[in-house]
Amino acid sequence: MIDESSVVLASAVRLTVPLAFAACGEYIAERAGTINISVEAMMLGGAFSAVLGATVTGSAATGLLFGMAAGLLVGFVHAQFSHRLGVNTYVVGLVLSALVLGLTSFLLDSVDLDKNQQVGAVDIPFLSDLPLLGPVLFSHRWPVYLLVALVPFVWWLVQRSRFGLELRAAGENPRSADVTGIDVRKRRRQALLICGLLSGLGGAYLAVGEVGMFNQNMTAGRGFVVIAAVIFGGWTLRGTLTGCLVFGAADAMRLALPALGLQLNAQLLIAAPYVLALLAMMFFAKSHRAPGALGRPFVRGTV
């Protein structure tokens, strides 16, 4: 029993990690006041690019860098269209999602990708031998430990650095920020770039970490779940990561329950994370902790 539950818990952690990488990015984007619905595109692009990079260079670790670059590129395009040219950010996000899905599906059919490229697993000495906790926390592929370093950094960046202060000002009250001399649109573009980098990494980990190959539409809506996780977490980093863990665990349950011999309805289990996300938003969306200008474009000289 203890073995089975540690397998389920370990898989919950594994499924949480891609979400958590992307959610750190989306958290930064939303604190800057922009709901970025192209996370899905960033993750999918990152996943494809990572496998492509791993195929070309023969190294899964380089693949991760490729994935980050792809996410960055999507973030750049999104930022230029929505926070320089002033196109509706939802429109841009939607079109980019369609574009990346089409592009990756097209290329998948035309390019031969290596089917088995995964970054290595690292067992942390001694700790990984612990019963239950060992396999759950201390025996993972190495990017998981990168996340452990990333989270405090993101917290510091947003809460303690000057850049983060300006970022949050742009998200809370862009007009005041503007008067203070902060370039609101520039901060938002930068937030989107960081989001692209981290979401690309999340997608890349999904591909070259967890799955080891690229499938058509392999992110399958995880990017949207990431957005829900940030809302679920009440726009705090701690809450966002909790949200990711909840959604990751729901995903792990879906995969694990049939193996454990529990007969549960497949459709219900697939829908569960999305229903959970909706319920979470229902309970948390009205919270006053939301950034004041969330989702509202900033144009100088307008109300």
Partner 1 sequence: MTGLLQAPRANSAAGAPGPPAPPPRPPLTERLRTPALYVLSLSAAFGIAAILVAVVGKSPKDAAVAMFDGSLGSGAALGQSVDQAAPLLLVAVGSVIAARAGIFNIGQEGQVVIGAALGAGVGLFMPGPGWFVLPMILLCAALGGALWAGVAALLHYWRGVDVVISTLLLIFVANQVVSFAVNRDYLLRETAVPGQTTTSQSDMLRESVWLPRFGEFPGFNIGAGIFLAVVLAVAVYFALTRTRWGFRIRLLGLNARTAHRAGVGAVVVGGGALLASGAFAGAAGGVMLTGSGYRMQDGFAGNVGFDGLLVALVAKDNPLHAVPVAFFFGALRAGGGFLAATGIPRYIVAVVTALLVLAVVFPTAVAEIRRRVPARTKEA
Question: By CB under 8 A, is residue 7 in contact with partner 1?
Answer: no
Query: What is the nearest approach in angstroms of partner 1 to the Cβ of residue 120?
Result: 31
Query: What is the nearest approach in angstroms of partner 1 to the Cβ of residue 156?
Result: 28
Q: Which of residues 260-299 bind partner 1 (CB under 8 A)?
A: 265, 267-268, 270-271, 274-275, 277-278, 281-283, 285-286, 295, 299
**Segment interacting with partner 1 (CB under 8 A) among 131-139, 193-201, 220-228, 236-244:** 220-228
**DSSP at 85:** S
**DSSP at 287:** -
Neighbour-count burial for 77-103, b at 16+ CB within 10 Å, e otherwise? bbbebbbeeeeebeebbebbbeebbee
Would you say 98 or 259 has its CB closer to partner 1? 98
Using CB atoms within 10 A of its CB, is residue 281 exposed (0-12), middle (13-18) or buried (19+)?
middle
89: Cα within 13 Å, side-chain hemisphere: 23
Question: By CB under 8 A, is residue 253 in contact with partner 1?
Answer: no
Query: What is the nearest approach in angstroms of partner 1 to the Cβ of residue 106?
Result: 4
C-alpha angle with apex 263: 259 to 265, nearest 5 degrees? 110
For 222, other C-beta atoms within 10 Å of its C-beta total 26
Distances, alpha carbon 225 to alpha carbons 1, 72, 73, 159, 218, in Å: 30, 20, 21, 24, 14
Query: What is the nearest approach in angstroms of partner 1 to the Cβ of residue 191?
Result: 18
Q: Which of residues 87-106 bind partner 1 (CB under 8 A)?
A: 87-88, 90-92, 94-96, 98-99, 101-103, 105-106
Question: By CB under 8 A, is residue 182 in contact with partner 1?
Answer: no
Among 23, 32, 37, 167, which residue sits at the site for partner 1 (rule: CB under 8 A)?
A: 37
* β strands within the chain, DSSP E: 121-123, 139-141
Query: What is the nearest approach in angstroms of partner 1 to the Cβ of residue 233?
Result: 14
Binding residues for partner 1, rule: CB under 8 A, are 35, 37, 81, 84-88, 90-92, 94-96, 98-99, 101-103, 105-107, 109-111, 221, 224, 227-228, 231, 265, 267-268, 270-271, 274-275, 277-278, 281-283, 285-286, 295, 299-301
